[in-house]
Amino acid sequence: MRRWSMTAAVAVFFLMAFVGWASGVPPFVTGMRALAGAAIMFVLVRIAGKVAVNILVDAMIKGAAKGSKARNGNGERTEQ
C-alpha cells in the first residue's frame, strides 16, 4: 500500500505543479499547493488501501467459516 500511496502522491504533486505553472500562479504558491495535494492524496490512498484490505480479509474469513468442515463424534467430516 505504501508504494501505491507514494506513486499517487508523486503523480498528484506533478499534476498540480503543472496546472499551477500553466495558470501563471507564483512558483512558491504552486509548490505549496502541490505539496499539500500530494500529502492529502498520500493519506487518502493509505486509508482507502487499509479499508480495502479489511474488507477482503473479512470476506475471506466469512467464506472460510461457511466452508469449514467439522468432525462428528465418529471422527468423520461433516459439512456445516
**9 in Cβ contact with 39 (< 8 Å):** yes
Distance between CA 55 and CA 2 in Å, rounded? Answer: 18
Phi, psi (deg, nearest 5) at residue 73: -65, -25
Q: Distance from CA of residue 13 to its chain's centroid?
A: 18
Split at pLDDT 50, 70, 90, the class of 17 is very high
Please write the tens of the pLDDT for every residue from 21-76.
999 999 999 999 999 999 999 999 999 999 999 999 998 888 887 766 555 555 55
* β-strand partners of 69: 79
Per-residue model confidence (pLDDT) at position 76: 58
Of 36, 35, 44, 34, nearest to 4 by C-alpha is: 44
Per-residue model confidence (pLDDT) at position 16: 96
Per-residue model confidence (pLDDT) at position 79: 56
